[in-house]
Amino acid sequence: FSFAQTLAFMHMAVGQEKSDGDRAVGGMLVYPTDGSHWMSLRDLSLAVSRRGHRVVVALPATGNLMVGETPGLDSETFPVPLVDKHNLLDTFLREVVFRETDGVTEFTFKSLESMNKRFAAMCDSLLGNVAVMQRLRAHNFEVLLADPIDPCGAILSDALGLPSIFLMRGIPCNIDLKAAHCPAPSSYVPQSMSGFTDHMSFTERVTNMFMGLKQDHLCIDFLLKRFDELARRHLGRDVTAMELLSNASIWLHRTDFVFDYPRPTMPNMVNVGGLTSDDARPLPQDLEEFMQSSEEHGVVVVSFGSIVSAIPYRIANVLAEGLGRIPQKVIWRYEGPTLENLSNNTKVMSWLPQRDLLAHAKTRVFVTHGGSHGIFEAICYGVPMLGLPLFGDQFENLARMQSKGAALVLNIHSLDAGSLASSISTIATHKSYKEKASLLSRLHHDHPQKPMDRAVFWVEFVMRHGAEHLRVAAHHLTWYQEAGFDVAAFLLAAIVLVTSVFIALITICCRWLCRAKHRNATVSKGMAASKKH
């Protein structure tokens, strides 16, 4: 365990909700990030609220795919440039998710640029709205919670004078590691979206190093540049977004080393992978009856996440045909036109209780796009997976699960009904997939605290104490001091100096010896000549 996790273990009582008389009353501001990122922020915010703290969400008025009014959370709404969320979703599905590319390049450059512009426009609207900012200051919050994939949270925390807590799964270019001054040796820490494992060949290590250099340029000169300008304009001083991100009190990483490759962490980094995965509930009666009707064959759960419930008709028909060929029953989250290949064994729903279904004893296989929430839920309940990645980090998420023996991965664009059916049958009938998934589940659960309890503890810890004592001294060093280049330069200069002095002394000695030898030879010749005479 890290220091942060050990200290959290010593305060395990945080998992028990306080009585009304004992509840702490504080305040937390949440700057939300749209899409699936909001799910983790929302659930942690609700958990903090249940502890008796006032939680307020800075809510954009329009243009949200998922962020909205949440029962149990207060909100401060601010106007933003008008965005049609239906057009936004259609563009996202057409140009990013279901466009046939390698997934990585398209996500890194095109979709990140679009997302970056949208984040910056919303940020500018909030920071420039004097009335809203005054209302936020009047709340006297104690801490700000945000996902650092949108750097606006870091700017807002500085503008309000609040300590920041960042809850995240991953950021392009490993910005979080750079901001926290966390070592990330390229020899065994693969760059985000590189597709490499932690066991790289020499060629892969070379590529990984150059990818890191390229991503540094991408992030500093491309992704963060807009936010550097916003920070300088709204904070009134020369500061960068990276500097503001580095002020984070605590980094809550949705990471678990049964899912992710082991790597170094820092004292103010806390792993809370799977914080939304626990506490499954009993299924509604109709779903329970459907599950039980599957008898010994069991059920396959199919879901492509919270946003991607509507998929191209051609791909949906291939999926429907393949699912119709397996003996298991199927529950599929799907929104779209009626499918001509849909079979009687398949139940289609516009929404499904994914976590509760994965926790059910009759579930045999989870067909997933590879989002981190779904994978953590599958790990939590020991369900093997068939992966059909669509974009972003889903490719490497599923590659990790496949390398651990708990998943198979197919290309959704070249998918045919036969390969889908045979892959599901392989996972369902070969015991090794279930055994590997069950092992990951046992490792995930064998901790002194649940991930959500650990996350709530650290939010309250920062409210009480801050976390300055967990920040390494590297934050106060220049880049060349942190890398040890100044010491290396001194040692190199010392070696050069000592070597130069040594060579000079040797040269002087050699010259002296040569001159002495020459003088001796001259004297000897003179003496010999005298004897002849």
Helix (H) or strand (E) holding 164: strand 164-168
- Please report the pLDDT score of residue 116 as a whole number: 82
CATH 3.40.50.720 fits 3-275+450-471, yes or no: no
Instruction: Give dist(CA 507, CA 502) in Å, integer.
Output: 8
Question: Once rounded to an integer, what is the mean pLDDT over residues 90-107?
Answer: 51
pLDDT band at 98 (very low <50, low <70, confident <90, very high): low
The CATH number of the structural domain formed by 285-445 is: 3.40.50.2000
The beta-strand segments (E) located in 258-399 are 269-271, 299-303, 329-333, 346-349, 363-368, 385-387
Average pLDDT, the chain: 86
Is residue 238 predicted with pLDDT exceeding 50? yes
φ/ψ of residue 530, rounded to 5: -65, -40
Is residue 240 predicted with pLDDT exceeding 80? yes
Question: Once rounded to an integer, what is the mean pLDDT over residues 265-294?
Answer: 93
pLDDT band at 65 (very low <50, low <70, confident <90, very high): low
- Please report the pLDDT score of residue 56 as a whole number: 95
Instruction: Give dist(CA 214, CA 479) in Å, integer.
Output: 18
Of 37-51, 62-76, 115-129, 442-456, which range is least confident? 62-76
- Please report the pLDDT score of residue 110 as a whole number: 62
Helices (H) and strands (E) in the chain, counts: 21, 13
Question: Once rounded to an integer, what is the mean pLDDT over residues 391-402?
Answer: 88
Question: Once rounded to an integer, what is the mean pLDDT over residues 28-54?
Answer: 91
Share above pLDDT 90 across residues of the chain, in percent, rounded to a whole number: 62
Q: Domain locations in the chain?
A: 3-275+450-471, 285-445
- Please report the pLDDT score of residue 377 as a whole number: 96
pLDDT digits (tens, 9 = 90+) for 184-197: 999 999 887 787 88
Q: In this structure, what token pair is assigned to residue 61?
A: 């008025």
Q: Which residue has the higher pLDDT, 58 or 194?
A: 58
Is residue 84 predicted with pLDDT exceeding 70? no
Amino acid at 245: L
Question: Once rounded to an integer, what is the mean pLDDT over residues 53-77?
Answer: 82
pLDDT digits (tens, 9 = 90+) for 467-523: 999 999 999 999 899 989 999 999 999 999 999 999 999 999 988 888 777 766 666
**Fold match between domain 3-275+450-471 and domain 285-445:** yes
SS3 137: helix
- Please report the pLDDT score of residue 103 as a whole number: 43
Is residue 80 predicted with pLDDT exceeding 50? yes
- Please report the pLDDT score of residue 94 as a whole number: 52
